[in-house]
Structure 1
Amino acid sequence: MSQSIPVLDLGPLQDGAPGALDRLGEELRRAFTEVGFYFVRNHGIPQSLLDDTFAAAERFHAQPLEAKLALRINEHNIGYMPMRGATTRVNAVGEVARPNANEAVFFKRNLPADHPDVVANVRFRGRNQWPAGLPGFREQVLAACDAFEGLGLRLLPIYARALGLPADHFAPFFAEPMYTLRMSHYPQQEPAAPENEYGIAPHVDTSFMTILAQNRIPGLSLRTQDGDWIDAPAPEGALLINGGMMLRRWTDNRFLATPHRVINRSGEERYAIPFFMDASYRAVMAPITADGSPGRMQPITYPDFMTGYQRANFHHAAEAAGEKVELQGA
């Protein structure tokens, strides 16, 4: 599988090599029409920063449950989600499984208290919740978010060329991109666990772009276009990137959102730090068609899409909306 997932090397582009952007665009188009994932090398994010961010995730989840629950996830999808706090429904692949066997904490752009969206309590534009008693944690999270966002913005011209568009096409849509850093903990799953229990059930992401730092503990697997599940490779020094429902919708279903899942039977505790990046909050994403004709889907914004998704998949969001959450197999 590692041979079939395209590897985009940003080195020639950074060096100003003639034709590098168009070549990368061709490689990205193949990645998203045949596989749905790609690796990126020479991405500019130091391995030490990634290692320190994994360590920060482990530090957070090592806290007593009471300390984590003090930051309980809110309507902005910011904060701590307890173990089995979500059931994959809207973006599920196959039958809905049991609640996901992971806990996670979510961070978004670090908005100041006087930001107009914070003052107006705009959905998904709240302030981050920070743990007490973890020196350096906040600084590490913000450094990771800055690094991942910077990479995502550098990749946008390649996405534009992959679609046959001018290199700067996406720039106005990502003036202040929405993003989420999720720090997940997957405890060891017992061999006797139910067959339909996953760390995260088979699903596709919601995002335009998901940047995934390589994990030394296995557990992530991808579904090929033939329907087979295979373990995700982890070449040293590369980041794994995929698209989700937003990318698929925005490209009028031309680009893939490939299913993946996590099962942790490694015998060790597993941590992950995926970074989900989307267009700016108020950007209107009208489908980009091959011939410029109207798309099959209506234009949409980030809050339009995410409000329904959150209510369907996250127990706290359904409860806030006054809906009953049914826990399969609970």
Structure 2
Amino acid sequence: MASPIFPVIDYSRLVSTDSVIAAEEKDKLFQSFHDVGFIYLKGHIFTDDFMKTIFSHIHKLFDLPEEYKLAIEGDEKSAFRGWFAPVRTARNPETADQKEAFGLGNDADPTRPNRWPKEWPEFRDDCSRFFEECFQMHLEILRALTEKVGLPRETLVPSVQAKDSYTALLYYPETTVESFDQRVRSAPHTDFGTLTLLFNDSIGGLQVRNKQGEWCDAPPIPGHAIVNVADLLARWFNNRLKSTEHRVVAPAAETRVLADGSVTNVVPARYAIAWFGHPNRDAVIKPLAECIADDYPQQYEAVIAGKHVKERMARLLDEGKLPEKWSDDMHRKEVPAA
């Protein structure tokens, strides 16, 4: 297995009022997203105590009885708000991702209401705070990237200000080593939108494909988020920023002694929380003119952000996993009116 090379970016330096310090970190950020597409982010705004609280919520949520989770199950009609398990919705459950998820969006958007568990206000408050503060960090990173191609720092902000982004609470249940013969925890894929902010527990399994096509481990680092470029941001920047394939596989198994004295190997459960930045659903995304040159021609046509994201999510529910790479010919064809 190849060794990962993930730059570490300090968010507190990125937003520093010292222009020299901020400029140095912005240079490093842009180069990292150009070369790798992934970074570790330290110095972010979430305290350790807040993240411990969020993860305690995630454990409690996925420990609820299935009938409780079914009452808040989400699908395409509910804009993917609520609980879902790919094994339940996939046409072929035997190859679906081994995970459960709970999706939520901007709680102030009445057109896409979140499906909150009842009588649990702390969960709603903390998840809403997480969403809002990730959105603000996402804006600062977008501003930094925009400046690096010679545009005013607020150029992309109007195209994301509707907060059509998405949080996924993720649970990968404890399982056997043998279950990975046909299924992984998350199949190889790229993300859909602008930027993903990922917060892991201490259990590993995330891998990223490097330039040589090798899968590299991306182990969690305490106090650090993992941030990666997604497809629509790569499209905006005409592939000058890299949307990189990644997956979640089995971490090292743990040996357990059973009540009868026998020994077995199990893959421990894993929990994570991902914030997926998306442009406004009606935004038209095409390469910025500043990222096109005679020796670097335009690589993408325009696409409507909401259509792109919706159809990626629908494919996840239908197939139980995402395709490794996405191309525009994968969009569902429009059905002519009768």
TM-score normalised by the chain length of structure 2: 0.80
1:83 CA displacement:
4.8
Q: Is the 8 A contact 1:187 1:270 kept in 2?
A: yes
Give the alignment partner of residue 228 of structure 2, picking from 224, 242, 257. Answer: 242
Structure 1 residues 310 and 212, CA gap change in structure 2 (3 angstroms): closer
Which residues of 2 match residues 280-291 of structure 1 at below 5 A?
280-289=280-289, 290-291=291-292
Q: Is the 8 A contact 2:195 2:227 kept in 1?
A: yes
Q: Is the 8 A contact 1:53 1:140 kept in 2?
A: yes
The C-alpha deviation readout for 1:232-253, integer Å capped at 9, x for no partner, is 1323322110011112222222
Give the alignment partner of residue 102 of structure 1, picking from 99, 104, 107. Answer: 99
The C-alpha deviation readout for 1:96-140, integer Å capped at 9, x for no partner, is x9111111110011135xx4xx2xxxxxxx100011243521112
The residue that corresponds to 1:58 in the other structure is 59
1:31 CA displacement:
1.1
Q: What code does the residue aligned with 1:276 have? A: F
The residue that corresponds to 1:184 in the other structure is 170
Structure 1 residues 243 and 12, CA gap change in structure 2 (3 angstroms): closer
1:194 CA displacement:
4.4
Identity over aligned residues, as a percent?
Answer: 23
Give the alignment partner of residue 302 of structure 2, picking from 292, 299, 303. Answer: 299
2:184 maps to 1:208: no
Aligned to 2:87, the other structure's residue is in SS state coil
Q: Is the 8 A contact 1:24 1:158 kept in 2?
A: no
The residue that corresponds to 1:29 in the other structure is 30
Range moving further from structure 2, 200-209 or 244-253:
244-253
The residue that corresponds to 2:241 in the other structure is 255
Structure 1 residues 3 and 80, CA gap change in structure 2 (3 angstroms): closer
Structure 1 residues 146 and 2, CA gap change in structure 2 (3 angstroms): farther
2:70 maps to 1:84: no
TM-score normalised by the chain length of structure 1: 0.82
Aligned length: 300
The whole-number CA distance in structure 1 between the counterparts of 2:279 and 2:196 is: 12
The C-alpha deviation readout for 1:253-309, integer Å capped at 9, x for no partner, is 222111111124443221110110112222222212524687332222221212332
Q: What code does the residue aligned with 1:227 have? A: G
The residue that corresponds to 1:132 in the other structure is 118
Q: What code does the residue aligned with 1:26 have? A: D
Q: Is the 8 A contact 2:194 2:229 kept in 1?
A: yes
The residue that corresponds to 1:122 in the other structure is none
The whole-number CA distance in structure 1 between the counterparts of 2:175 and 2:148 is: 40
The whole-number CA distance in structure 2 between the counterparts of 1:258 and 1:87 is: 25
The whole-number CA distance in structure 2 between the counterparts of 1:150 and 1:2 is: 32
The whole-number CA distance in structure 1 between the counterparts of 2:275 and 2:42 is: 17
Stretches of structure 1 that go unaligned for 5 or more consecutive residues are 89-96, 119-125, 318-322, 324-330
Structure 1 residues 54 and 308, CA gap change in structure 2 (3 angstroms): same
The whole-number CA distance in structure 2 between the counterparts of 1:193 and 1:3 is: 26
The whole-number CA distance in structure 2 between the counterparts of 1:297 and 1:29 is: 20
Aligned to 2:153, the other structure's residue is in SS state coil
Q: What code does the residue aligned with 1:145 have? A: F
The whole-number CA distance in structure 1 between the counterparts of 2:50 and 2:3 is: 24
Range moving further from structure 2, 139-148 or 100-109:
139-148
Q: What code does the residue aligned with 2:29 have? A: L
Range moving further from structure 2, 169-178 or 195-204:
169-178
Stretches of structure 2 that go unaligned for 5 or more consecutive residues are 254-266, 321-331, 333-338
Q: Is the 8 A contact 1:40 1:241 kept in 2?
A: yes
Q: Is the 8 A contact 1:85 1:103 kept in 2?
A: no
Range moving further from structure 2, 161-170 or 198-207:
161-170
Q: What code does the residue aligned with 1:189 have? A: T
Q: Is the 8 A contact 1:21 1:158 kept in 2?
A: no
Aligned to 2:271, the other structure's residue is in SS state strand
Q: Which has the higher helix share?
A: 2
The residue that corresponds to 2:216 in the other structure is 230
Q: Is the 8 A contact 1:73 1:316 kept in 2?
A: no
The residue that corresponds to 2:279 in the other structure is 279
From the CA coordinates, give the structure whose radius of gyration is larger: 2
